[in-house]
Amino acid sequence: MARYGYARVSTDMQSVDAQLPALEAEKLDMVFVETVSGAVPARERPVLASLLDRLQPDDSLVVVRLDRLGRDAIDMLQLVSALDARDIRVRILSLGIETGTANGRLFLTILMAIAEFERELIRERTRAGIAAARAAGRRIGRPRALTSAQTRHVKALAAQGLSIRDIASVMNVGRATVHRALQGEAGPQRAGQSSSAAA
């Protein structure tokens, strides 16, 4: 049963000195230190990813503060829940909480509620943003991959007998984009199917 510490700072200008004494007092087997922005999701942090790969069932991960582990409640909940499912305990020194205990289970329940609240806020903001964009007459969704002129060029190349693969290579786009350009307003067709056959 190994015990590992994790300390994170956002920039090289910051120091982990405030976190290390508390971690060293825990008599850990090893402390991992990372300099990465808090905006980076937990799974995309190389040092943390290396630590997560090392952890085994019954091991413990110790952090000074919960925000060292994730960018928001959703990110932290995903990480803590995944570790809990692997029988790995997370100890948060500033809160005096360790998952796997009654207090830890209560904490996870509260964190789940906060994460769900954050998800709902994101959904509400997204819906409000879409409604405002539509009201302003802006197009919703991904921008078109090809301009009208490029679409005409795709159709001209197809009329010359070039394959979809060759057209995609010439235009430097995916084959699906070429398919959509050739279908135009006619709707989806299967590859090799003509408009008359589709009718």
Q: Catalytic residue positions?
A: 10
Question: Rounded to an integer, what distance in angstroms lies between the CA atom of residue 182 and that of residue 165?
Answer: 13
Q: Which amino acid, residue 47?
A: V
Work out the number of other CB atoms within 10 angstroms of the CB of residue 124.
10
Place of tokens 């009208």: 148
Give the chain's end-to-end CA distance (angstroms, integer): 67
What angle do the packed helices 175-183 and 148-159 form, to 10 degrees?
Answer: 90
Q: Residue 142 carries which side chain, given as an amino acid letter?
A: R
